Structure 1
């Protein structure tokens, strides 16, 4: 069965990139133009504003559309919960490799709700974004707050730490994720699902519809 996928509000670079990624899967996945065809899954390219969320609502009401999935560089898991409660079937990072993207789209088509990437370890029930890269939970929390725009002094006040401790966590986290500037660290955090609000909503990964956390 051919899975028909449409990209909405995406620029040419994204369209060409997604086309190249799905080509290796033969005829099982085909990009279509929503203006002239129905689609099993629509990838809506990014949503960060109320206007974007209204766009999701319009797509959900479109009879030509089967499922709606948000596709973004600004990966924010806490926003995924709101969109999925609104009716979206997925929230995917553009950092996904081609085979990961296709697998996620097929899972959505089969009725699953997918938020990816899933970067939480599960071996002991205690996990956080960045654990696979060697980040401690404290380092991950510091990166999350930095990605939210907080200064080192702000982070220290928020976490009840000394400024020297925060600086130590920043240096060690930079080394583990292989960055050497604050801007690079923020970009890494956002593209890995570790950003402002992460500490409030760490629990969204892959769920059956109707079982999202409140």
Structure 2
């Protein structure tokens, strides 16, 4: 018990029963301290400013300020706070805007305590905390017809040129025979694909037989080239451009 790192968590959900249930569940999990609970996105942003939690568990459909806008404001104003979406919805119209707003995790409300705890730990370590259903949905979009990939949603800042070059060939960038977009090297594209698979820096290093420092250098370079701000936007960018971590 001594030396156990405590993760400070804020819960945002407009349904009182659901919100109180999540707070009660988190209170039973080791290493997690609930520092506040918000009934809408506006209150969530205010409580983040007050308590500076490590992670926010964020519902999407809320009054006054929805979860996507609250996520965007939290990530812009308080980059030390990660956001894990916890929602009923796993459709494209909910999933991709949330990831592009800066959420690093995405769970549906049928997730159990162990899965929620794992997602919180994942985003704290720099990995993506995505439920198996969400990972499957992302992979389905990646493997679908080229037209579907372009329908992901708005392009994060600084990526318009990358989308244009990625779509001009009529194929998903990162596929065999296509150059990676935005001047990415083959190795940078491979690292990006592994990020999209949910791997942490250390896992990527083991997969590619390189040092974690080398992985971090590749990530810094690809972030600069693509204009993404964090790993969640990198995931959305990778799937939009058909970039996978598999050998080409």
Q: Who is 1:37 aligned against?
A: 51
Aligned partner (choices 128, 138, 149) of residue 113 of structure 1: 128
1:17 aligns with 2:21: yes
More strand by share: 1
Matched position secondary structure for 1:92: strand
1:76 aligns with 2:76: no
Structure 1 residues 59 and 206, CA, compared in 2 at 3 Å: closer, same or farther?
A: same
Shift, 1:77, TM fit: 5.0
d(CA) in 1 for partners of 2:134, 2:84: 19
Name stretches of at least 5 consecutive residues in structure 2 with no aligned partner: 37-46, 141-195, 201-230, 241-248
Matched position secondary structure for 1:107: helix
Structure 1 residues 119 and 72, CA, compared in 2 at 3 Å: closer, same or farther?
A: closer
Name stretches of at least 5 consecutive residues in structure 1 with no aligned partner: 122-126, 129-203
Structure 1 residues 14 and 117, CA, compared in 2 at 3 Å: closer, same or farther?
A: farther
Aligned partner (choices 70, 73, 77) of residue 55 of structure 1: 70
Q: How many aligned residue pairs are there?
A: 133
> Is the 1:115–1:205 contact (alpha carbons within 8 Å) kept by the matching residues of 2?
no
d(CA) in 1 for partners of 2:131, 2:74: 21
Shift, 1:104, TM fit: 0.9
Structure 1 residues 85 and 29, CA, compared in 2 at 3 Å: closer, same or farther?
A: same
Structure 1 residues 97 and 65, CA, compared in 2 at 3 Å: closer, same or farther?
A: same
d(CA) in 1 for partners of 2:122, 2:80: 16
d(CA) in 2 for partners of 1:25, 1:67: 18
Matched position secondary structure for 1:32: strand
- 1:119-158 alignment to 2 at 5 Å? none
> Is the 1:37–1:64 contact (alpha carbons within 8 Å) kept by the matching residues of 2?
no
Structure 1 residues 207 and 64, CA, compared in 2 at 3 Å: closer, same or farther?
A: closer
- 1:65-214 alignment to 2 at 5 Å? 66-77=81-92, 79-118=94-133, 206=198, 209=231, 210-212=234-236, 213-214=239-240
Matched position secondary structure for 1:88: coil
More helix by share: 2
> Is the 1:96–1:117 contact (alpha carbons within 8 Å) kept by the matching residues of 2?
no
Greater RCO (Cα-Cα under 8 Å, separation 6 or more):
1
d(CA) in 2 for partners of 1:77, 1:207: 22
d(CA) in 1 for partners of 2:87, 2:81: 20
Give the ranges of 4+ consecutive aligned residues of structure 1 lying more than 4 Å apart after TM superposition.
Answer: none
